[in-house]
Amino acid sequence: MRKIILTSSVLFFSVIQLAAQFQKNEIYGGLSYGRRLFNYNTNSYQPSFSIGLNTHSTVGVFLDNTRYNVMPSQFYDGYSHSLGVGISYNYARYFKKSSKWGWYVNSSLGFYKVKVYEKQNSITTLNTHYNQQELSVSPGIFFRASPRILLFANIGGISLTNNRYEFTSRFNMTSQLNIGVMISLGNPGKKKK
């Protein structure tokens, strides 16, 4: 049943025209998946909603659910889980002489609740929890799959992270692969002909 609903949704949104990267006041729904490529594994899911500011930019909100499968520590086994919300801004342009491929830059400010779990003798316990703020900038590429569907990908970026333990800057280019889709949901203020 889920496959039928998903396929029907994709087909429905694919038949409606969209002329540029974005449309002013158009609402977009998005979903991205991220996976860390080195050191330790992560699984990250990020649904989002945004509105077009003009043909090149959007501003929106996102939810983030990330699990670090193995803690980056040699002293104990465990994992961490973070839930967050934030705001984001996207700027996109087509490559020269292309109407399908382009580049984009995403900047976001997120607020997260991080919980760290420790595993000992097959028992998982909550070790610590804390709040974290992150400001990040990630460049990437996109592909216009249809007039209403935009596929995008990036391999990390730069970020400033603050929590009760540290304030750090990270350059994580090529360390995490993020892929996603953005679908135009329409312009609620636009009159239909």
The span from the CA of 120 to the CA of 84, in Å, is 27
CA 69, 71, 76, 81 torsion-angle sign: negative
Given pLDDT bands bounded at 50, 70 and 90, which one contains residue 188? Answer: confident
Task: Determine if the pTM surpasses 0.75.
Answer: yes
Tell the CATH topology of 24-186. Porin (2.40.160)
pLDDT at res. 192: 53
- Tens-place pLDDT, residues 72-106: 556 667 888 999 999 999 999 999 889 899 999 99
Given pLDDT bands bounded at 50, 70 and 90, which one contains residue 138? Answer: very high
Domain ranges of the chain: 24-186
pLDDT at res. 70: 67
